[in-house]
């Protein structure tokens, strides 16, 4: 399934992100996903939500 680039742009403008576990829309910086309850981490370089086990940001490639 392809993601909508316009939706991603509007989410960034509004300070929103998607949970990497359940894909719920969240306000940044929310420490836990309100839908699935997983702990949220964010890339310090680009602000993308990261799975807790991530070592590299999938958005910008920065080592986390």
User: How open is the CA angle 51-34-36, to the nearest 5 degrees?
Assistant: 55
Flag whether 43 is in a domain. Answer: yes
Flag whether 45 is in a domain. Answer: yes
**How many structural domains are present in the chain?**
1
Q: What is the pLDDT of residue 45?
A: 93
Flag whether 41 is in a domain. Answer: yes
What residues make up the domain containing 29? 5-50
pLDDT, one tens digit per residue, over 16-49 is: 888 889 999 887 677 889 999 998 888 999 888 8
Q: What is the pLDDT of residue 1?
A: 42
Of the pLDDT bands very low, low, confident and very high (cuts 50, 70, 90), residue 55 is very high
């Amino acid at each position: 399934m392809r993601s909508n680039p316009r939706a991603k742009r509007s989410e960034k403008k509004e300070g929103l992100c998607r949970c990497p576990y359940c894909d719920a829309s969240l306000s940044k910086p929310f420490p836990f996903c309100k839908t699935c309850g997983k702990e949220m981490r964010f890339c310090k370089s680009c602000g993308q939500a990261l799975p807790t086990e991530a070592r590299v940001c999938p958005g910008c490639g920065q080592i986390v």
